[in-house]
Amino acid sequence: EAQVTQNPRYLITVTGKKLTVTCSQNMNHEYMSWYRQDPGLGLRQIYYSMNVEVTDKGDVPEGYKVSRKEKRNFPLILESPSPNQTSLYFCASSSRLAVRSGANVLTFGAGSRLTVL
Amino acid sequence: AQSVTQPDIHITVSEGASLELRCNYSYGATPYLFWYVQSPGQGLQLLLKYFSGDTLVQGIKGFEAEFKRSQSSFNLRKPSVHWSDAAEYFCAVGASNDYKLSFGAGTTVTVRA
């Protein structure tokens, strides 16, 4: 089944304790992206990657890092989490061919709910 | 830069009644428009999309949306709502040959029996 898999789905941590949220897709998609969802703000893009070793900042990158060493994986790293990073996080992917044809349909993971105390 | 406004934060509708969710976008060129639905505890699922052609677009689960360029709108409709339609709905705008999508703040739909 074509899907985007995120782990963990739920996490409670404390301020300053480094954590990584993994994201993996099995569709051979070039494009991957991380969003955070907050009430009243919708989805805001954190980072995105156009392909392996190519990443760039989205709208709200502060406090986050990403890496894209393999095509299928795009982990989100919080080096020193703070309470304002408490949020619901989504990973999404799309194919370059789909974008060029005008069909940039993102496939989303199920979400990772992070609480930072 | 592109942006999306969903004026209604929360809508309550009776089962069997019609539903309309509003979406207004801001974009300088021809937009690519999407509606996604997020059921409780789930990721986002694409309901429908508009790129060009017929301005009335049919999607899954009995939803449709109409693109009105003069009003910069892309409202989502369903003639008869089912209890399973209770969810949060997001409108998004993108551009040709561009990966970036901008999402609205979302509209939560509650369905009462």
Decide if A104 and B41 are in contact by the 8 Å CB cutoff.
Answer: no
Give the pLDDT score at B97.
Answer: 65
Q: With the C-alpha atoms ordered B101, B9, B36, A74, is the resulting torsion angle positive or negative?
A: positive
- Using an 8 Å CB-CB cutoff, list chain A residues near B99: 31, 33, 48, 50, 94, 99, 104
Q: Mean pLDDT over all residues of chain B?
A: 92
A112 CB contacts (<8 Å, ≥6 apart)?
A6, A7, A8, A9, A10, A11, A21, A88, A89, A90
The residue-averaged pLDDT of B89-98 equals: 83
Q: With the C-alpha atoms ordered B40, B75, A3, A48, is the resulting torsion angle positive or negative?
A: negative
Give the pLDDT score at B66.
Answer: 96
Decide if B43 and A90 are in contact by the 8 Å CB cutoff.
Answer: yes
- Using an 8 Å CB-CB cutoff, list chain B residues near A4: 43
- Using an 8 Å CB-CB cutoff, list chain B residues near A111: 41-43
Q: What is the per-residue DSSP string for B46-85?
A: EEEEE-SS-SEEE-GGG-EEEEEGGGTEEEEEESS--GGG
| pLDDT tens string B5-44 | 999 999 999 999 999 999 999 987 778 899 999 998 888 9
**Of residues A91, A117, A87, A116, the one with CA closest to residue A106:** A91
| pLDDT tens string B48-84 | 999 888 899 999 999 999 999 999 999 999 999 999 9
| pLDDT tens string A15-27 | 999 999 999 999 9
Give the pLDDT score at B37.
Answer: 96
Compute the distance between CA of residue A59 and CA of residue B92 in angstroms, rounded to an integer: 15
Å from B31 to nearest chain A CA? 10
Decide if A110 and B45 are in contact by the 8 Å CB cutoff.
Answer: no
- Using an 8 Å CB-CB cutoff, list chain B residues near A35: 103
Residue of B nearest to A41 (CA): B105
Strands B87-94 and B107-112, sheet pairing? antiparallel
pLDDT by residue for chain A (117 residues), tens only, comes to 889 999 999 999 999 999 999 999 999 999 999 999 998 898 999 999 989 999 999 999 999 999 999 999 999 999 999 999 999 999 999 887 666 665 568 899 999 999 999
Which tops the pLDDT comparison, B97 or A74?
A74
Peptide bond into A81 cis (omega under 30): no
Give the pLDDT score at A100.
Answer: 61
Long-range contacts of B58-61 (CB under 8 A, 24+ apart): B59/B35, B61/B37, B61/B85
Compute the distance between CA of residue A37 and CA of residue A35 in angstroms, rounded to an integer: 7
Å from B30 to nearest chain A CA? 11
Give the pLDDT score at A101.
Answer: 62
Phi, psi of A100 (to 5 degrees): -65, -25
Per-residue pLDDT at B107 exceeds 80: yes
Give the pLDDT score at B27.
Answer: 84
Decide if B100 and A103 are in contact by the 8 Å CB cutoff.
Answer: no
Helices (H), A1-117: 96-100
Give the pLDDT score at A99.
Answer: 63
